[in-house]
A and B are shown apart, each in its own frame.
Chain A
Amino acid sequence: MKRSGWFSRTALILGLGFLYVPIMSMIVYSFNNSRLVTVWDSANSPTLRWYFELFRNEQILSAAWLSIKVAALAATGAVVLGTLAGVALARFGPFRGRTLLSGLATAPLVMPEVITGLSLLLLFVALEQAIGWPQGRGMLTITLAHITFTMAYVTVVVQSRLTGFDDSLEEAAMDLGARPATVFFRITLPLIAPAIISGWLLAFTLSWDDLVIAQFVAGPGSSTLPMVIFSKVRLGVSPDVNALATIMVLIVAIGVVVAALLMRRRERRREREVQAATAANL
């Protein structure tokens, strides 16, 4: 294996530093007693003061709960729709309207959020005028909006996983007597299960994280967590946001590390088995 030169290795270390210093600073200062965030109060720190304040903050807690509900619903909806779209694009060959579908399915990946947010709000307003649904704006409209912009990610993940598999797997199942529905549930779905899981997690994270679209389509009284954080930090730095950030980073880090370890273990086992199989063959 050819090693990279000193230049790119230095760039990598500096770049990772650039990515992680801000996150680290939030974590460190979340244990700082001073309200003046950047002034380290060494007499009374480290402290869990901001964590306690965070858990007493009704507004943040209820916003977090709303965000969790919206994210879970949106991710589930996005997985269903995105999987259908991904399967259609990867497996149905050319059909009428395929180009438009593939365009519609990937455009939300890069569409500026302000445009998506504005257009969805105008849709909801127009719909309410025309048919009286959805009545007002709140959790329902946020969820619908989030399904729409996160399903693109699921579509891409599912489509790219499916194109990695030979069509002949599904053909073989059909050749062995399985009807299309059986083929989907017994062959296609198990094959794309990892893509569906990572698509769901991705959609959940994106929904959980979204400020701009939610701000447009949310009604009064339905504030998601990013909306609450945004209105807080707009007024300046606030130490309990540091504590909140630390908790979120911790959850994600644990999740990612556990997932990576599990995948690594499976990979290792698989490699050993493949080696054993080829050895037996020689």
Chain B
Amino acid sequence: MRPEPLDPWRDPKAEPYVRIEGVTKKFGDFVAVNDVSLEIYRGEIFCLLGGSGSGKTTLLRMLAGFEQPTAGRIVIDGQDMTGIPPYDRPVNMMFQSYALFPHMTVEKNIAFGLEQERLPKGEIAARVAEILEIVKMTPYAKRKPHQLSGGQRQRVALARALVKRPKLLLLDEPLGALDKKLREHTQFELINIQERLGVTFIVVTHDQEEAMTLASRIGVMNHGTIAQVGTPTEIYEFPANRFVADFIGSVNMFEGRLVEDEPDYVRVESPELGATIYVSHGISSPPDARVWVAIRPEKIAISRERPDAQENVARGVVREVAYMGDLSIYLVQIDSGKMVRVTQPNITRHADGRITWDEAVYLSWDPTSPVVLTQ
């Protein structure tokens, strides 16, 4: 296997392409974005992930130039964007509603941005034709937006923004208006186009699945601040705090006290579990500190017989079983009274022999699975 080139964010010599430096945005007394700093590298698909009101859209609108930061600044490719209006920025946006001009055909919509650059007619026509080809919309060039389906509109909106060859493309919930099947297909199409054109994408989304599939890195936002920045794997497997652990996927959280803290392992005493948890990696935290241990439901094994291990085992009774097709979800009430969520893939087709309601079971997990969170 060929060695992967070093990810730019791990390369100390790499120069960030977009630099967000201590940006704050206030609307009256309301702080929408609170002192956010981010560095985004050329060719990335960077996802801003967060719930509504997390400030992700405001941040995107500041990048586009529709809002001016109250404090801090944004630098794109070495150029300070402060005070530069949207129409003079090397940045284009794909709007959540697509914002296709209803009175113009597909072709005219796409040509609009190039006309603003006062390019010669021939070049405009050539570039429009080229981008239509890329998004596979050539047969629909003469149609008006209302004559297109949702997926087609999405592609026109993408083409209209990309045809300007922006340094940075901003996408606001790019797949939000599409149905589930179409969304999966479009995700991969979007990645293909991005790789082919080499444009840097910043995507705003509230959908974690979308962020996981699209992103090179994800910035999780909460209450106007960045809760964590990392690759999808880092975010999921090594959440930095309780908010991220809880926001991405589902998680079982046990509150506890750090009783042993060695370089290669820790022990947490958790009354919520009714036992100590052994975690095979160290953390840096003062002893006796209050911590939370997060364990993902798919990393917990469920069995009728007691496993051999001495630690990381809990006893309980199955209270709920939900059959989801590909997997089943069990809600197990452990001896301490706490409900623990466990998922198991349905490997066989037969239901007989599967653990079911009111059965007494043992839960267990690998010492590498839990994550210890200090905040």
Direct contact between the two chains A and B in their complex (CB within 8 A): yes
Does A126 have its Cβ within 8 Å of any Cβ on chain B? Answer: no
Q: Per-position contact with B for A261-282: 1 when CB-CB < 8 Å, else 0?
A: 0000000001001101110110
A281 adjacent to B152 (CB under 8 Å): yes
Does B271 have its Cβ within 8 Å of any Cβ on chain A? Answer: no
B149 adjacent to A280 (CB under 8 Å): yes
Does B97 have its Cβ within 8 Å of any Cβ on chain A? Answer: yes
A173 adjacent to B101 (CB under 8 Å): yes
Q: What's the Cα separation between A175 and B99 when bound, in Å?
A: 11
Q: What's the Cα separation between A281 and B143 when bound, in Å?
A: 14
Q: What's the Cα separation between A32 and B164 when bound, in Å?
A: 71
Residues of A within 8 A of B160 (CB): 172, 176
B92 adjacent to A175 (CB under 8 Å): yes
Residues of A within 8 A of B93 (CB): 171-172, 175
Does B116 have its Cβ within 8 Å of any Cβ on chain A? Answer: yes
A274 adjacent to B64 (CB under 8 Å): no
Q: What's the Cα separation between A232 and B151 when bound, in Å?
A: 65
Q: Per-position contact with A for B121-138: 1 when CB-CB < 8 Å, else 0?
A: 000000000000000000
B86 adjacent to A273 (CB under 8 Å): no
Does A58 have its Cβ within 8 Å of any Cβ on chain B? Answer: no
* A175-B92, A276-B147 known; A166-B97 Cβ under 8 A: yes
What's the interface size class on B, roughly?
20 to 34
Q: What's the Cα separation between A215 and B147 when bound, in Å?
A: 52
Q: What's the Cα separation between A169 and B103 when bound, in Å?
A: 11
- Specify which of B66, B92, B147 is in contact with A277 (CB 8 Å cutoff): B147
* A171-B86, A171-B99 known; A177-B66 Cβ under 8 A: no
Residues from 127 to 177 in A contacting B, C-beta threshold 8 Å: 166, 168-169, 171-177
The residue in chain A whose Cβ has the minimal distance to the Cβ of B148 is: A277
The residue in chain B whose Cβ has the minimal distance to the Cβ of A189 is: B103
Residues from 239 to 271 in B contacting A, C-beta threshold 8 Å: none
Q: What's the Cα separation between A186 and B104 when bound, in Å?
A: 10
How far does the Cβ of B81 sit from chain A's closest Cβ, in whole Å?
13
- Specify which of B64, B96, B103, B151 is in contact with A191 (CB 8 Å cutoff): B103
B92 adjacent to A274 (CB under 8 Å): no
Residues from 37 to 87 in B contacting A, C-beta threshold 8 Å: 64-66, 85-87
Residues of A within 8 A of B112 (CB): 173, 176, 178, 186
Residues of B within 8 A of A187 (CB): 101
Q: What's the Cα separation between A280 and B149 when bound, in Å?
A: 8
Residues of B within 8 A of A190 (CB): 103
B117 adjacent to A177 (CB under 8 Å): yes
B102 adjacent to A191 (CB under 8 Å): yes
How far does the Cβ of A91 sit from chain B's closest Cβ, in whole Å?
13
Does A234 have its Cβ within 8 Å of any Cβ on chain B? Answer: no
Does A179 have its Cβ within 8 Å of any Cβ on chain B? Answer: yes
Residues of A within 8 A of B176 (CB): none
The residue in chain B whose Cβ has the minimal distance to the Cβ of A273 is: B147
- Specify which of A177, A178, A277 is in contact with B149 (CB 8 Å cutoff): A277
* A168-B95, A273-B147 known; A174-B103 Cβ under 8 A: no
Q: What's the Cα separation between A276 and B102 when bound, in Å?
A: 17
Does A182 have its Cβ within 8 Å of any Cβ on chain B? Answer: yes
Q: What's the Cα separation between A274 and B102 when bound, in Å?
A: 13
Q: What's the Cα separation between A177 and B64 when bound, in Å?
A: 11
Q: What's the Cα separation between A276 and B150 when bound, in Å?
A: 13
- Specify which of B87, B96, B101 is in contact with A179 (CB 8 Å cutoff): B87
The residue in chain B whose Cβ has the minimal distance to the Cβ of A280 is: B149
Residues of A within 8 A of B116 (CB): 176-179, 182
Residues of A within 8 A of B274 (CB): none
Residues of A within 8 A of B102 (CB): 169, 191
The residue in chain A whose Cβ has the minimal distance to the Cβ of B116 is: A177
B149 adjacent to A278 (CB under 8 Å): yes
Residues of A within 8 A of B92 (CB): 175-176
- Of listed B86, B102, B117, B150, residue having the most chain A CB within 10 A: B86
21 contacts between A and B (CB under 8 A): A168-B96, A171-B86, A171-B95, A172-B101, A175-B65, A175-B86, A176-B87, A176-B92, A176-B164, A177-B117, A178-B116, A179-B87, A179-B116, A187-B101, A190-B103, A270-B146, A273-B146, A273-B147, A276-B147, A277-B146, A277-B152
User: Beyond the given A171-B86, A171-B99, A174-B66, could you list 13 further A-B residue pairs with CB under 8 A, ordered by the A residue number?
Assistant: A171-B66, A172-B160, A175-B93, A176-B87, A176-B161, A177-B88, A179-B116, A273-B146, A276-B147, A277-B148, A277-B152, A281-B150, A281-B152
Residues of B within 8 A of A (CB): 64-66, 85-88, 91-93, 95-97, 99, 101-103, 112-113, 116-117, 143-144, 146-152, 160-161, 164
